Amino acid sequence: MSPDLPDSFPHAEVVVDLGAVRHNVRLLAARAAESGAATMAVVKADGYGHGAVPVAKAALEAGATWLGACSLAEALALRAAGITARVFSWLDLPEVDYAPGIVQNVDLSVSTAEQLARIAATARRVGLPARVHLKIDTGLSRSGCIPRDWPELVKAAAAEPDVEVVAIWSHLACADEPGHPSIDRQAERFRTAYEVAREAGLNPLRHIANSAAALSRPDLRFDLVRPGIAIYGLNPLPQREDLRPAMTFRSTVVLTKRIDAGESVSYGQTWTAPRDTTLALVPAGYADGVPRTLSGRMSVWLAGRRRPVVGRVCMDQLVVDCGDDEPAVGAEVILFGPGADGEPTAREWADEIGTIDYEIVTGMYRPRVPRRYLGQE
């Protein structure tokens, strides 16, 4: 089966609740508005595995006025889908052609004088001004201009007629640990960078807050917040927030069987039935996004309760121990979901294998697993 052909009987599927996305964006946009800030919904990496275009449209319906993409290609994919809202993109190879971005009104990030010069030259060539956001590295040490080089960068940008400086921006290292001293240190450097930009004659917008800061640090919302994970309903903060996880990963029972005590299950025979029991076979495995490292450490929601997955997770399938219950062939199996009914969550998977829920949901973007949308308007 080619991944390009729709599968009428997908073994496993991702269901994305756009109503949940709208709920989350409404909440974030309302909080931002309390501080006079606009909201940029970050839809990089195909909307954290949820689908960039449907999520972007839902976010715009719910009050976001900007979209954030990683690469220019991701930004242009939003434009190709007919989205006309402001789109900001911030990471590309040095040799990228900025022309389509400038022509299609995509805001571009600038960290260096060379980048500024290339963007300005491209703007001159296409005959349109480029909209740029100058990035100050306040302590994350990824992209961005180090404070020592900042005065020169803002001066060059201010003197560049083909470039419109829309904003200055930065990104926080530890916003998900409220009270971490680096947050205030980065904020202080950001304020200083703003003063330097103003002294150079610029009057830019400011943005620094990801989801965690947008929710927990009203003072860092400035003109614009850039939530990503929270629009998908996952909470990066230790405290509770009224967010609704948008993604459910589900499959179906394809076979049940009774085995005797002493029979073993799956490759390596790592699990042996301690009693006679009923097994349910589920056609979802590591090729579908179930981490093999969850073997022996996960459960699924099946026929009204949690049941353990036994033996190794295989490429295409896994086996659930149902004890003396016999679920129907065709019964729904929830691998993870919002958690409201007691089903496992992406967060539980992440905690179990030592990662973050960002990686779990983003990793669900795979051609083998179709996505279905609820609440599409």
- The catalytic site residues sit at 44, 267
Enclosing H/E stretch for 206: strand 205-209
Number of residues engaging ligand PLP in binding (CB under 6 A):
12
Please, are residues 307 and 223 in contact by the beta-carbon 8 Å criterion? Answer: no
Quick one: which segment of 3-11, 154-162, 221-229, 265-273 binds ligand PLP (CB under 6 A)?
221-229
| 40 annotated among ligand-binding-site residues | no
Q: What is the DSSP letter of 101?
A: H
C-alpha distances out from residue 182 to 20, 140, 173, 235, 316, Å: 32, 9, 7, 20, 44
User: Is residue 293 within 8 Å of residue 279, measured between CB atoms?
Assistant: no
Q: CA-to-CA distance for 376 and 374, rounded, in angstroms?
A: 6
Work out how close the CB of 225 gets to ligand PLP at its nearest, in angstroms, rounded to a whole number: 9
Binding segment toward ligand PLP, per CB under 6 A, in 28-36, 186-194, 228-236, 274-282: 228-236
User: Would you count residue 144 as binding ligand PLP (CB under 6 A)?
Assistant: no
Position 233 contacts ligand PLP (CB under 6 A): no
Q: Which residues contact residue 191 at a Cβ distance below 8 angstroms, ignoring those fewer than 6 apart?
A: none
Q: How far is the CB of 157 from ligand PLP (least distance, A)?
A: 19
Q: How many CB atoms lie within 10 A of CB 258?
A: 12
By CB under 6 A, the residues from 84 to 103 that bind ligand PLP are 90
Both tokens of residue 123?
A: 């703007």
Q: Is 364 annotated as a binding residue?
A: no
Question: Half-sphere exposure of residue 205, counting CA atoms within 13 Å on the CB side?
Answer: 19
Q: By CB under 6 A, tell whether 227 contacts ligand PLP.
A: yes
The encoded tokens of residue 63 equal 């009050």
Q: Which is nearer to ligand PLP, 243 or 314 (CB)?
A: 243
Indicate whether 236 belongs to the interface with ligand PLP (CB under 6 A). yes
Q: Is 211 in the site for ligand PLP (CB under 6 A)?
A: yes
CB of 89 to ligand PLP, least distance (A): 10
Question: Applying CB under 6 A, does 171 fall inside the site for ligand PLP?
Answer: yes
Using the rule CB under 6 A, which residue among 111, 122, 210, 266 binds ligand PLP?
A: 210
The DSSP bridge partners found for residue 159 are: none
Q: CA-CA distance, 199 to 191, in Å (whole number)?
A: 12
Spatial neighbors of 244 by CB under 8 A, at least 6 apart, are 17, 20, 23, 24, 233, 338
Interface with ligand PLP includes 221 (CB under 6 A)? no
Residues 27-46 touching ligand PLP, rule: CB under 6 A, are 42, 44
Q: Phi/psi of residue 258, each to 5°?
A: -95, 130
The residue length of the chain stands at: 377
* Stretch in the footprint of ligand PLP (CB under 6 A) among 225-233, 257-265, 313-321, 362-370: 225-233
Nearer to ligand PLP, 137 or 321 (CB): 137
* Residue 357 Cα distances to 274, 318, 361, angstroms: 33, 21, 6
Q: Does 228 bind ligand PLP (CB under 6 A)?
A: yes
Per CB under 6 A, 226 contacts ligand PLP = yes
Q: How far is the CB of 203 from ligand PLP (least distance, A)?
A: 22
Please report how close the Cβ of residue 289 comes to ligand PLP at its closest, in angstroms. Answer: 19
| Of 124 and 347, CB closest to ligand PLP | 347
Q: Give residues 303-362 in contact with ligand PLP (rule: CB under 6 A).
A: none
The residue (of 210 and 317) whose beta carbon lies closer to ligand PLP is 210
Residue closer to ligand PLP, measured from CB, 77 or 265:
77
CA quadruple 157, 137, 359, 269: dihedral, nearest 10: 140
CB-nearer residue toward ligand PLP: 298 or 361: 361
Alpha-carbon Rg for the chain in angstroms: 24
Do β-strands 86-89 and 371-374 pair in parallel, antiparallel, or remain unpaired?
Answer: unpaired
C-alpha–C-alpha distance, residues 323 and 321, integer Å: 6
Q: Whole-angstrom Cα distance, residue 157 to residue 90?
A: 17
Nearer to ligand PLP, 242 or 260 (CB): 242
105 three-state secondary structure: coil
Residue nearest to ligand PLP (CB): 228
Pick from 151, 94, 158, 97: nearest CA to 132: 158
Least distance from ligand PLP to the Cβ atom of residue 230, Å? 6
Instruction: Output the known binding site for substrate.
Output: 142, 315
- Which residues bind to ligand PLP, rule: CB under 6 A? 42, 44, 90, 171, 210-211, 226-230, 236
